[in-house]
C-alpha cells in the first residue's frame, strides 16, 4: 500500500531553526528595529506558521508598535522587506554550511527512491528556502528526487490547515492511505492528520514540548529507519 513519502522541510529534513532565528535578527537590525528574538521567544513564535506571519504576530503583540503605518499597506511592505532580508541571510547561512540534514534523512530518501516510492515535499516555507537548503545538502539535481513540491506559494493557507497536504496528495494522484507524512511539529502533525495521513514525527529542540497525540510514531530521528518498518507501521489497522 505504501507508495509515497511526504516530507516537511524546516525541522524535519534539516535542523534549520537556529539559522532562521539568526536570519530574522539580522533582518531586524538591517531595518533599524531593536528587536532581538532569543531562543525561548522564537520557540513560542514557531507556533505561528510562516515567517511573515511570525513577524506580524510579534509586531502586534508587543504593544509598543503602531498597529498600522502609512496608508495601510506600508506595514505589509515593511514585513515583506524584512522577510526578503531574512531569506537572503538564511540562504547565506546555508551556503556557509551552517545547516545540515538531520540524521537518517539522506539514507531514507535514497532507499525510498531505489524502491520506487514517490517522494514529495509539503511545507509552509518559501521556494527559495527549499532550493537553497536542498541544493547545498542534497545536490543540484535535488528536484529529480521529488515528484511534487508544495510550498508557501502554492499552498498559502499555512499549517495546521491541511491545504498543503491535500494538494500534495492530489498532485501525486494518491489517496492518503497510500502515503506517509514526516513532520516535527504539532501544527504539521495536525495538518497531515487532517488530510488523512498517518504521520511519523521527529521532534527537535524547538518542538520537543509539543503534543504529538495522533502520530503514527514519534522518533528521535530517522536514523536507521527502514522501509520495512514504515510499511509495517503504515499497515496498522488504526491508521487505515
User: Taking a C-beta distance cutoff of 8 angstroms, is the pair 24, 200 a contact?
Assistant: no
To the query of whether residue 8 is one of the catalytic residues in this protein, the response is: yes
Whether residue 217 contacts residue 233, with contact meaning beta carbons closer than 8 Å, is answered with yes
Angle at the Cα of 207 from the Cα atoms of 5 and 163, rounded to 5 degrees: 45
Does residue 96 have an active-site annotation? no
Q: Is 98 exposed, middle or buried (0-12, 13-18, 19+ CB in 10 A)?
A: middle
Q: Exposed, middle or buried: residue 230 (CB in 10 Å: 0-12, 13-18, 19+)?
A: buried
Q: Give the span between the Cα atoms of 58 and 55, in whole angstroms.
A: 5
Q: Measured on CA atoms in the order 77, 79, 83, 89, is the torsion positive or negative?
A: positive
Burial of 143 (0-12, 13-18, 19+ CB in 10 A): middle
- As annotated, the active-site residues are 8, 10
Amino acid at each position: 500500500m505504501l507508495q509515497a513519502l511526504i516530507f516537511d522541510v524546516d525541522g524535519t529534513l534539516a535542523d534549520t531553526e537556529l539559522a532562521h532565528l539568526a536570519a530574522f535578527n539580522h533582518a531586524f537590525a538591517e531595518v533599524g528595529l531593536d528587536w532581538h528574538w532569543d531562543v525561548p521567544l522564537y520557540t513560542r513564535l514557531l507556533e505561528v506558521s510562516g515567517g511573515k506571519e511570525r513577524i506580524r504576530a510579534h509586531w502586534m503583540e508587543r504593544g509598543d508598535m503602531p498597529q498600522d503605518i502609512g496608508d495601510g499597506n506600508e506595514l505589509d511592505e515593511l514585513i515583506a522587506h524584512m522577510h526578503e532580508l531574512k531569506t537572503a541571510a538564511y540562504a547565506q547561512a546555508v551556503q556557509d554550511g551552517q545547516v545540515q540534514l538531520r540524521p537518517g534523512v539522506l539514507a531514507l530518501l535514497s532507499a525510498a527512491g531505489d524502491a520506487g516510492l514517490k517522494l514529495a515535499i509539503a511545507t509552509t516555507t518559501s521556494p527559495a528556502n527549499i532550493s537553497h537548503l536542498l541544493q547545498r545538502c542534497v545536490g543540484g539535481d535535488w528536484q529529480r528526487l521529488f515528484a511534487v513540491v508544495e510550498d508557501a506559494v502554492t499552498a498559502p493557507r499555512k499549517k495546521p490547515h491541511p491545504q498543503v497536504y491535500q494538494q500534495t496528495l492530489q498532485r501525486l494522484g494518491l489517496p492518503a492511505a497510500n502515503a506517509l507524512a514526516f513532520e516535527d511539529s504539532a501544527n504539521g502533525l495536525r495538518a497531515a492528520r487532517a488530510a488523512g495521513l498517518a504521520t511519523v514525527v521527529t521532534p527537535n529542540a524547538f518542538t520537543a514540548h509539543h503534543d504529538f497525540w495522533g502520530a503514527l510514531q514519534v522518533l528521535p530521528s530517522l536514523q536507521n529507519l527502514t522501509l520495512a518498518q514504515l510499511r509495517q507501521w503504515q499497515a496498522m489497522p488504526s491508521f487505515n
